[in-house]
């Protein structure tokens, strides 16, 4: 329902590791999970882990969330004496491509609040996300035989490469964290005549996003000036917006989630999502939807793993949250 395409998840071979000893865990001859590299592992000695062999994603993002939702529902069905109000459950495909809500049947939804199960570490609640835009740059060159190109050729591939090189390195995903946004080139392709670059723009504020959009347009003009005879077009599209403002209008949605965590013995930590969820788009549609931890780690990586103990606590949190809404 929500498995990344960064690394293949086809034919994943999940493995259960009971009573993890806290040491480096060999996944295969080529891949090892080592606490020296992934410090969160050190906190899970004695836990049961779910891993893969490193040849694929595990897919805990977001199979863990699906498993927790279904486990909570199974428990409620098995215990009809436990009070709860009306519940709606939604599974959306293509979340990782940003298309998960494109065909969402909003007119059929009765819920006044929702929660996504798409987070990570135990206790982490995400009530704020990036505002996200995608910029598609199209570079048109002028082609002539490269042996007689002096003063005539406008190389579209070189134009695309020049554009990417101008993006601020200090504002890339690998150079930022917390509330700092970024520019991230996702794909570059082309020929002498035509090339394209897709860039993800991310920021937590409207002002920051406006600056990024204007920067992309200015860099496109700069590249155009560098390559006489060539041209650049920028198509900039909104993907989703920061859900913070909408959630602030309905404080009880987040308050009940925080209380549910405390009631089952979890210390909640509210943090921003350095990304987005279908919940962000649902929030924009008018239904506030914060994001709940699932107990998965190293998402979008061959070294992805999940904690069974944390998945159990997530399910308990869901059940307590359902009861708080019933009360």
232 class by beta-carbon count within 10 Å (0-12 exposed, 13-18 middle, 19+ buried): buried
pLDDT of 151-163, one tens digit each? 999 999 999 999 9
Task: State the average pLDDT over residues 180-207.
Answer: 96
pLDDT at position 275 over 80: no
> Measured between alpha carbons, how far is 256 from 258 in angstroms, rounded to an integer?
5
Cis peptide before 182 (omega within 30 of 0): no
Sign of torsion, CA 176 181 183 187?
positive
Task: State the average pLDDT over residues 231-245.
Answer: 93
pLDDT of 91-107, one tens digit each? 988 777 667 788 888 99
Q: What percent of the chain has pLDDT over 90?
A: 80
Q: Radius of gyration over alpha carbons of the chain, in Å?
A: 23
Nearest to 119 by CA among 295, 309, 263, 260: 295
184 pairs with which residues across the strands? Answer: 200
pLDDT of 28-85, one tens digit each? 999 999 999 999 999 999 999 999 999 998 989 889 999 999 999 999 999 999 989 9
Domains belonging to the chain, first-starting first, are 15-129+243-326 (3.40.630.10), 131-240 (3.30.70.360)
pLDDT at position 2 over 70: no
Question: Strands 116-117 and 291-292, how do they pair?
Answer: parallel
Element (DSSP H or E) covering residue 220: helix 206-226
Residue holding tokens 């590249």?
A: 223
231 falls in which pLDDT band (50, 70, 90)? very high
For residues 292 and 269, the answer to whether their CB atoms sit within 8 Å is no
Give the model's pLDDT for residue 278: 84
For residues 124 and 117, the answer to whether their CB atoms sit within 8 Å is no
pTM of the predicted model as reported, rounded to 2 decimal places: 0.81
Backbone angles phi, psi at 198, to 5 degrees: -110, 130
161 class by beta-carbon count within 10 Å (0-12 exposed, 13-18 middle, 19+ buried): middle
By annotation, the residues acting in catalysis are: 2, 95
């Amino acid at each position: 329902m929500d498995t990344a395409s960064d690394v293949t998840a086809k034919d994943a071979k999940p493995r259960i590791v009971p009573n993890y000893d806290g040491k480096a865990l060999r996944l295969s001859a080529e891949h090892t999970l080592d606490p020296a590299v992934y410090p969160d592992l050190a906190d899970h000695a004695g836990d049961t882990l779910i891993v893969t062999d490193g040849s694929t994603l595990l897919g805990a993002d977001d199979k863990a969330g699906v498993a927790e939702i279904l486990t909570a529902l199974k428990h409620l069905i098995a215990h009809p004496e436990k009070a709860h109000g009306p519940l709606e459950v939604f599974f959306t495909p293509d979340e990782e491509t940003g298309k998960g809500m494109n065909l969402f049947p909003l007119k059929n939804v009765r819920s006044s609040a929702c929660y996504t199960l798409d987070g990570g570490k135990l206790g982490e609640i995400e009530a704020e996300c990036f505002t996200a835009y995608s910029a598609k740059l199209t570079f048109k060159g002028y082609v002539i035989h490269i042996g007689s190109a002096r003063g005539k050729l406008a190389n579209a591939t070189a134009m695309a490469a020049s554009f990417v090189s101008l993006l601020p390195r200090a504002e890339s995903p690998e150079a930022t964290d917390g509330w700092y946004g970024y520019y991230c080139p996702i794909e570059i392709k082309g020929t002498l005549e035509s090339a394209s670059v897709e860039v993800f723009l991310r920021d937590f504020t409207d002002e920051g996003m406006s600056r990024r959009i204007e920067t992309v347009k200015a860099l496109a003009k700069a590249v155009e000036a560098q390559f006489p005879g060539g041209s650049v077009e920028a198509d900039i599209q909104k993907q989703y917006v920061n859900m913070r403002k909408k959630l602030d209008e309905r404080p009880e949605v987040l308050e009940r989630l925080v209380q549910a965590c405390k009631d089952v013995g979890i210390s909640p930590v509210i943090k921003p999502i350095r990304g987005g969820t279908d919940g962000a788009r649902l929030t924009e549609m008018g239904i506030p939807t914060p994001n709940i931890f699932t107990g998965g780690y190293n998402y979008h990586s061959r070294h992805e793993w999940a904690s069974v103990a944390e998945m159990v606590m997530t399910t308990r949190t869901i059940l307590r949250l359902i009861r708080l809404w019933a009360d």
